[in-house]
Structures are given as C-alpha cells and as structure tokens.
A and B are shown apart, each in its own frame.
Chain A
C-alpha cells in the first residue's frame, strides 16, 4: 500500500516537473492583449467587421492592423474598452449607425397585386415578378432580414413589415446585404426624422398602390433647411449630415416622414394614424 502511494507520487512528481520544464522551454508567446480584447468584443461572430470572427478581429486590433472601433456591433462602448486594454485614448466616438427599413407600407396601407403561395422567404418571393407587393420597391414582409439578424433586432409586424429595433441593432449590416429589395439602409442612431419610402415610382402610381409612399411633391424639400432633404429620381431622401427639424413631418401629405421612434412602437403608431386618416 505504502509502496504504491510513494511510487505513484514520485511518478506524478516526475511528470509534473517534465511538464513544467516543457512549458517554459517551448512556450509560445501570445500577446495577452488579444485575449483581453476578445473578452471586450461582443463574441457573436456576426462578421460585421468583415473578418471571420471576433478572435480574428482581436488579433488584428492587437497587431495594429485594425482600429479600436472596427467592431460595428460593439460600438463606442466596446471601442473604449479595447482602447483601455491597449492603453491608448479612444477619441473617435463617431456616430454609430443602425439599420432602418426604408418602407412603411405594411398590408394595411400598401396594395398587393397577387396571392403568393410560395416559400416564406423574401429572396424566393422576389424571383416571381419581384414579389407580390404592388410597389416594386416595398418590403415583402417575409422575414429574410429577421432570419439573418444575429441579434434578434428585427421585428416582423403581423401586418407584414420588417422593423428594426434600434435598441438591439448593433449595425452589423447583415440585413442590408440580405434584403433582396435593397431597402435597408444604415442611418445615424441620433437622427430621429426619417423618410420611410424607397419608391422611385412617379407620384400618381404611388398614390394608387400605397397610402404612405413618397409621391415626390417636394413640400418637405422646400420646408427643410437647405440640403437636408434632396430629391433623387422621384424620391425624397434625408441627408443625415444636415440637421432636420421635426416640424418637417407636418409638411408630408402622405405621412411618409416619421419622427422619433424608429422602433416598433413609433412606426406602428404612425402607420395606424395613416391608415385611419386615409382609409
């Protein structure tokens, strides 16, 4: 019994000494900052930075090949954390962008031209005449963007419209790439006035098929400060670098311009008003 204990103990001692020596002799130098940076990153491996995953980005940041604010999902907070790890001052603190679906035409206000009985997926639906919506620019409401969002930041309204929740959106831009209609845009999170339409159709056509579409009447352009809203091929587009007063909402005869909540609450509220007001 005693012999066995001594024998095992000495073997254990021998091996542990061997391991200790090996660990010293063959040690691979790992930058401790990489691990610290990786801890600071969100760890969702969303790919928003354009790299295979968070650990790859952490490596690049430590090597100085990427900026501390290279993670679009993490935003300013993460950038500060990483700057702390690297022992530098993060001064950028630039505008964080969130995704916004530039369409307000749910089933209550936008017409459909046929009954679609196919695969529940926007990219598949768009293969047949561009989808069932009468507006060829409109949100198809089949949740392709919500499916690809790694953060669950896109809500599908029961009335068939995708709405980004800016609280949860990290700006990874996956939905922007996934939308077959190309109507999801990145907008500064601190801007509150948006024009929720992507239609380049002429006003007359828009009026026929959607109650909240931009008809290109130019009223908002005239009312807004110089350069804040521009007309691009029959569509009013907000230029976010210029400040836009909220009062401009009142000028829109179609309720296409919304203010404040780009979240579910705000948008559905606006839509209800539009639906009730005109139909």
Chain B
C-alpha cells in the first residue's frame, strides 16, 4: 500500500538541507527557564507551585486536571523566581513559571530510575505515560494517554509511527531517527503493547533515505514492524492523509483515526515514551530545529522545555541583521512570534527565522474563484467558498461546508493567487463555532 497518494497537497521548497546534517547538540543550561503551565490541548493543568519555591528536576509544577490533561514537570532543579504572563508560541499570552536553575540539575526522588518494563500491564504503562506528562510532539500537543485509550467498540489494528516530517525547514524528527532509532522502536513497541496492536508501520518521506535506511536496520529482528517510504508531498505527515496513503482507509469527517482502527504517533513521542517508561524521565526536554536564512548557524538542539527562543538563537550564533520574522514551527503551519521571550513547549518542533527578503509582503484581494485552493485542499473542502462565508460572518454556512474539518495545513493559502489569508479566516470561524457551542452548552 505504500506510496499511495492522498488528494491535493502542494510542493513548497523544503529547505531542509540547512539543518539536516547538523548532529543534535545538547543546549547548555540557560540562565532561566520560562515553563508554561499549559502545555497540552484539552484541560489546562492546575499550577501547584508559587513564587520562591525550590523545585527539583522532574518535580510536578502543575497537576493534570481532568482526563484530557497531563502534568507539567520542572525541567531542572532551581528556584521559582516569579510567575507571570509570557507569550506561548501557539499565539496566546498565558501564565508561566520562571525558574532560575541552581546548576545542580538534581532529580526529584523517584525519577530517572532505570526500570524493567517487561512485566508491566497496559494500565500501568498508560499511567506511566500520563504521569510523565506526555503529549503528541508533532505540534498539536494532544495528551498521549488519551490517544492510547480508545473505546472498546473501536479496536485498533495498526499503529503508525509518523516520521514523515513534511513541514519545510524542520529536521528534528529526521535527526532523531538517525541518532536514536533504538529508542523510537522501543517506544513504539510500548505503544503497541498498550493497545494490543500487532502491526506497526514507521512512515518516513522519501527525501530522508538515510532515515529510512537506519530505521530499517533497527527493525529487522522486531516482529510486526515495517518501514515505508512515503511520497514527498506536503502535508504527508498530517494524520488523516498519512493513514489514507498507507492503508486507503478514510477517516470520516469529524472523526478520529481510531474510527478506522489506526493510531498515529510522532517519532518524537515514541522516543519520549521510551525515556519515560524505561528510565522514569518525565517529558522535560525535546529536540528543536533552529533554522532558516536568518540564523547564523542552523542547528538541531536537544533542549529543556522552557528554554526561551532568545537563548536558543544565541546558542546558534545569533541572527543576521535583516532577520524579519521568527516562526514557531514550520513556515506552513507555524505561528509568527512577536517576542523572543516565547519559550519552548512540548509541542515546539522548530524555530524558523526568515530574512526580510524571504518574507512575502502582500495585500490580499478578492477571491477570483479560480479554484486552485479546491484542487490542493487535502481535506477536500472548498476554501474559496468558506472564506467568503467567513468574510460575511455567515458562520452557520461555514459550518455546513465543514470548516471544522480544516486541518489548517495552509495549502490553500500557499497557492492562492489573490493572496487571501484563508487559514486565518478558518481559524476565526472555528473560534466562532466553539464560542457558539459553548453558549449552547
């Protein structure tokens, strides 16, 4: 089934050569860490520390609240200097703890102990994953244990480990597959054990032949594993598109991959699960790609959650003078940042710095109804019609035309000859519909 083609998609310049050969470097301890209390989609966790507290590495600083929520841990030992509102890279200003590291980097008791996981049952594994504060590390930051808890009537028969990394510029997953394949494979088999799944596919885009090769080498003696090379087309790494390309199964509108018996996890998440279960290390660090024409030395960096963009940029030799834009995530789906005080969260896969001349400046125009957006929308929506509805504030009609199914991949806006801010319109509509359903109770 490999190499199947999903509908639509685009071929933006990938620009991955900037950072793909950079070996993952460990970020030295910064002078301060800004750790946001909300790091997951779903219910925001409840902060349990206050100003002046002394925390240890791995100590819980925010407890999970409700099922769709995970705890947040202190990334190192130190003192809580203040609790204040800081920019979160997804585009909101929310409370965060400023932790000044004491340099000892001392683990809290009970963490960082190697353990034998062979005898552990599914519920225990799931608890370990929840307690480690694990979320999807591809960008959406959805709590992992929730994904691992499908209802009984929806059995999962296939686990897909997503190493497609279709977003331009980013190479964090690529490097992780090259350097930590064993951990990824072990973490994947942990997921498979929780779900009772026998078949695991590691999906990698064909523009990373070395990663495909490495992963293949590490699965030879593993039962049920296979590695598939995927077509290089954006958004190949989007959950629903990846499932269709691999299996031909179509996730229904408004549905989840579990509706077609599939679970997708990012390679970074699989590696974090390995760290959490085997070594008892909560999710307090991740690989971040710092790249783009605006940075002096593009790098892949293993850094603590809470490291400010400012420190990361400094570690990469600073930025060029005419740098005009800082994007958290990739250029297709990322969010432009207004401040380098924003810090790395569990879902931050990269920081892209663009030079002034690389940033298109434009005035958007009226829709000329050319239909290009319709031919590239991988969700088979009608972005042109939707955007007109939203412009006229006809949100009910937008809902009727399934704006809620938009995955915000940006293909439509990328091809639009009128330069219409289509994704922005759809985000507005979604916010409006959320508001409406909240009012309706």
Across chains A and B, the number of contacting residue pairs, with CB separation under 8 Å, is 36
CB of B412, distance to nearest CB on chain A (Å)? 15
Tell me which residues across on chain A come within 8 A of B338, comparing CB atoms.
113-114, 129, 132
B428 with A123: CB separation less than 8 A? yes
Contact of A124 among B91, B92, B339, B424 (CB under 8 A): B424
Contact of B428 among A121, A130, A136 (CB under 8 A): A121
Contact of A129 among B91, B361, B421, B431 (CB under 8 A): B91
B339 with A113: CB separation less than 8 A? yes
Cβ-based interface call for B87 (8 A): yes
B424 with A127: CB separation less than 8 A? yes
Cβ-based interface call for A2 (8 A): no
For chain A residues 94-131, which have a beta carbon within 8 Å of chain B? 113-114, 117-119, 121, 123-124, 127-130
A124 with B335: CB separation less than 8 A? no
For chain B residues 425-441, which have a beta carbon within 8 Å of chain A? 425, 427-428, 431-432
Contact of B421 among A114, A119, A132, A136 (CB under 8 A): A119
For chain B residues 322-340, which have a beta carbon within 8 Å of chain A? 335-336, 338-339
CB of A186, distance to nearest CB on chain B (Å)? 20
Contact of B361 among A117, A118, A127 (CB under 8 A): A117
Known: A113-B338, A119-B424. A127 touches B93 (CB 8 A): no
Bound Cα distance A132, B337 (Å): 11
Tell me which residues across on chain A come within 8 A of B428, comparing CB atoms.
119, 121, 123-124, 127
Per-position binary interface string of chain B over residues 315-357, scored 1 when its CB falls under 8 Å from any chain A CB and 0 otherwise:
0000000000000000000011011000000000000000000
Bound Cα distance A129, B87 (Å): 7
Bound Cα distance A127, B338 (Å): 14
Per-position binary interface string of chain B over residues 93-123, scored 1 when its CB falls under 8 Å from any chain A CB and 0 otherwise:
1000000000000000000000000000000
Instruction: Name B's interface SS.
Output: mixed
Per-position binary interface string of chain A over residues 115-154, scored 1 when its CB falls under 8 Å from any chain B CB and 0 otherwise:
0011101011001111010001000000000000000000
A127 with B91: CB separation less than 8 A? yes
B361 with A123: CB separation less than 8 A? no
Bound Cα distance A198, B425 (Å): 28
Tell me which residues across on chain B come within 8 A of A121, comparing CB atoms.
428
For chain B residues 379-429, which have a beta carbon within 8 Å of chain A? 421, 424-425, 427-428
For chain B residues 72-96, which have a beta carbon within 8 Å of chain A? 87, 91-93
Interface size on A, residues (CB 8 A): 14
Tell me which residues across on chain A come within 8 A of B87, comparing CB atoms.
129
Bound Cα distance A129, B88 (Å): 8
Bound Cα distance A114, B421 (Å): 18
A118 with B92: CB separation less than 8 A? no
CB of A142, distance to nearest CB on chain B (Å)? 12
Q: Which of A113, A123, A124 has the most CB of B within 10 A?
A: A124
A123 with B425: CB separation less than 8 A? no
CB of B44, distance to nearest CB on chain A (Å)? 17
Closest to B92 in A: A129
Tell me which residues across on chain A come within 8 A of B424, comparing CB atoms.
118-119, 124, 127
Bound Cα distance A130, B91 (Å): 8
Bound Cα distance A114, B341 (Å): 14
Closest to B361 in A: A117
Tell me which residues across on chain B come within 8 A of A132, comparing CB atoms.
338
Could you list which residues of chain B lie within 8 angstroms of chain A, going by C-beta atoms? 87, 91-93, 335-336, 338-339, 361, 421, 424-425, 427-428, 431-432
A-B contact pairs, 21 of them (CB 8 A): A113-B338, A113-B339, A114-B338, A117-B361, A118-B424, A119-B424, A121-B428, A123-B428, A123-B431, A124-B427, A124-B428, A127-B424, A127-B427, A128-B91, A128-B335, A128-B336, A129-B91, A129-B92, A129-B338, A132-B338, A136-B93
Could you list which residues of chain A lie within 8 angstroms of chain B, going by C-beta atoms? 113-114, 117-119, 121, 123-124, 127-130, 132, 136
17 additional contacts, CB 8 Å, given A123-B428, A129-B87? Answer: A113-B338, A114-B336, A114-B338, A117-B361, A118-B421, A118-B424, A119-B425, A121-B428, A123-B431, A123-B432, A124-B428, A127-B91, A127-B431, A128-B91, A129-B92, A129-B338, A132-B338
